[in-house]
Structure 1
Amino acid sequence: MDSASLLLKIFNTVFPLATIVLVAFLYARVRPTDMSVANRLNISVFVPALIFSIMASKEFHISKYVDLIVATTVVVLGSGLLVWPLCRWLKVSVKTLVPPMMFNNSGNLGIPLILLAFGESALPIALVLFLTENLLHFTVGMYLMNPKTNFINVLKMPMVVATILGLVWSLQGWTLAPAVEVSVSMLGQIAIPLMLFALGVRMTNVDFSQWKLGVISGLICPLSGLIVALIWLWLVDVPSEYVGYLLLFACLPPAVLNYMVAEMYQQEPHKVASIVLIGNLMSIGIVPCVLFYVL
């Protein structure tokens, strides 16, 4: 692929994502929008439907993705360990900085990015990355925030239930009736554009009072992920077809969910909001650079 074709491919990948986020941002600026109901529907209905529809399909076999799951886990946990010593230097609480550096935007940004960069066939891989990161967030992440977290509640979450059902369905080799498959698939297709729209609306709340921390963490987040990913790729023989996906995953900005969790536990939510939202703004410049290398 020559340079012109490559740049066009990157533009065609990034532009649709940026456009949806921008439309949502502009709409919410003109007409303040409460996305709480839509976000709850996405987490409770549309994303679980997407998860189950992919995992229950005949083409999905979880055993194919074991190497990718292990590598993703290493990137998430490893980036947290790498950033941990920096908290004292930055004079920031570990609970404020480390979770956003570990748990990236593999849902709102990661799934559509991989889908546009690699095509429809990459959706199961994007979903595996998202599920691995999300399950770690709801277990390790919640434990970091509160060691007394009740993990029984995690098992009741719709996304976790959908993952378990999808896993059982896949391992048993069962198939869905065509009418049911289409219904679940259509519900799941709502999830991805709604994730991007919600991200754009959330951007209207960027808090620039902590801009220095936001900018520093906006660089640390992708850098720590890429360092851990490259070390793992050097040490372990990861299948070559997964290398590009892993590097893209590693450079993603912090997940918006980090802010919601910080708000829930009253863990300096204003600082976490700056880290998350400024990090997502900075990804407009960082992600295309990594995409250029990957493609």
Structure 2
Amino acid sequence: MLLRIVSILFPLFALTALGYLVGRRQRPDLSHANKLNMDVFVPALVFAALANKSFHVADFVPLLGATLFLVGGCGLAGWALARGLGVAPRTLVPPLMFNNCGNLGLPLAVLAFGDQALAPAVAMFMVSNLLHFSFGAWLLDHSISVAGVWKVPSVLATLAGIAVGLLGIEVWAPAMTAIRMLGDISIPLMLFALGVRLTESRIGELRLGLIGAAARPLIGMALALLAMQLIPLSKSEQALLLVFGALPPAVLNYIFAERYHQEPEKVASIVLLGNVAALLFLPVALAIGL
């Protein structure tokens, strides 16, 4: 079991560590690559996973409900923890609510549970992504238009993929191959860019960083276990949900905090230490879920 967990996690952290080392030595500007990833490669991955004859969105309604329960529950727990610590809820809630289900979650799901786990993992990613670009952005700036979330390419790819699947439209095989090839670029680029991005983070407050780093996976796994008791899920979906709950805070939380001037140093501490703590919490989640 230990060797299997190491074999699953090693490629993820190896690519992230490589990105960190390159980021420390060369300081590459990945802003254009990251934009291409979010605007082209990730949407291609999402569309290819959903525009599939074997994908039926109705089959994943319980899993989507459990994901929504988990994300919302983490937000409420983050608000209560922030009030107890005397921290601004806008600083602590997003890192606890929105996890790294893109950079780490998608490749981890495939490596741990096989290619068949990609479609449900993408569906879970889209629940979190949709909430992050709508409620998460609104939480940091109440003047923002939530309707803008429908302009996000990955959201449009989700709607297009689901529509193609529901209507039974068969995409020309060579075109689908090209789309899958674009999607295949996204995961290694996500991991490499995550490592580079972590070189830009700084520990602004160690105490809050450690609390957030531990609270994010502990609360997530606890809510995942609760959701399993309340919502009927298959064994594979339960394992996916548990791993989803254990994921560290998304790097996007730091980008949003910096953009909206919401104590980015504190958020950076939570994100940086949270992703380091994933070395401890993800093996625990995999040991339980496998």
Q: Same fold (TM over 0.5)?
A: yes
2:102 pairs with 1:107:
yes
**Is this contact kept in 1: 2:138–2:146, CA < 8 A?**
no
Size of the aligned set, in residue pairs, is: 290
2:23 pairs with 1:21:
no
Query: Partner of 1:159 in structure 2?
Result: 154
Q: How many Å apart are 1:209 and its aligned residue?
A: 3.0
Moved more, 102-111 or 276-285: 276-285
The letter of the residue matching 2:102 is G
2:144 pairs with 1:122:
no
Cα distance in 2 between the residues matched to 1:86 and 1:59:
41
The letter of the residue matching 2:173 is P
Query: Partner of 1:41 in structure 2?
Result: 36
Q: How does 1:55-74 map to 2 (within 5 A)?
A: 55-74=50-69
Q: State the superposition RMSD in angstroms.
A: 1.2
Fraction of identical pairs, as percent: 45
Cα distance in 2 between the residues matched to 1:33 and 1:125:
33
2:208 pairs with 1:223:
no
SS in 1 for 2:104: helix
Cα distance in 2 between the residues matched to 1:33 and 1:274:
22
Cα distance in 2 between the residues matched to 1:84 and 1:260:
20
Q: How does 1:138-177 map to 2 (within 5 A)?
A: 138-177=133-172
Cα distance in 2 between the residues matched to 1:140 and 1:209:
26
Cα distance in 2 between the residues matched to 1:153 and 1:79:
24
Which blocks of at least 5 consecutive residues in structure 1 are unaligned? Answer: 1-5
Query: Partner of 1:289 in structure 2?
Result: 284
Match of 1:90 among 85, 97, 107: 85
Which blocks of at least 5 consecutive residues in structure 2 are unaligned? Answer: none
2:190 pairs with 1:195:
yes
Cα distance in 2 between the residues matched to 1:205 and 1:168:
39
- Superposition misfits of 4+ residues, deviation over 6 angstroms: none
SS in 2 for 1:238: coil
Query: Partner of 1:274 in structure 2?
Result: 269
Q: How many Å apart are 1:60 and its aligned residue?
A: 1.3
Moved more, 36-45 or 219-228: 219-228
Cα distance in 2 between the residues matched to 1:38 and 1:211:
31
Query: Partner of 1:185 in structure 2?
Result: 180
**Is this contact kept in 2: 1:206–1:278, CA < 8 A?**
no
Q: How many Å apart are 1:230 and its aligned residue?
A: 1.6
